[in-house]
Amino acid sequence: MNMKTVFTAIALSTLSVGAFAATEIQYPQGQEIGSVSASANTLDSLQAKLAAKADAAGAKTFQITSVQGDDTLHGNAILFK
């Protein structure tokens, strides 16, 4: 297998995973299907954990509704279909 084929396969697999990932939104969109919560040490990792939970629940989008904490952040998000 040559390097061009390997690079193309990696690029396509990365794109296909992102195509089905839940997207964070600012305003409610669609039908609400539930909520999730998570904890993390940074805002970026908290957002990533909430996104992963939204994906696992089958949500297309999610809206982060609250974040609290100092050293450990706790966040909640509403999920939408």
* pLDDT value for 10: 52
Asked: is 22-80 a CATH 3.30.2230.10 domain? The reply is: no
69 torsion bin: left (phi>0), alpha (psi -120 to 50), beta (else): left
In this structure, what DSSP letter does residue 20 have?
A: T
Residue 73 pLDDT level (bands cut at 50, 70, 90): very high
* pLDDT value for 3: 52
* pLDDT value for 17: 43
**What pTM, to 2 d.p., does this model score?**
0.71
Over residues 10-50, the pLDDT tens digits come to 555 444 444 457 887 877 778 999 999 999 999 999 999 99
Cα angle value 68/57/81 (rounded, 5°): 95
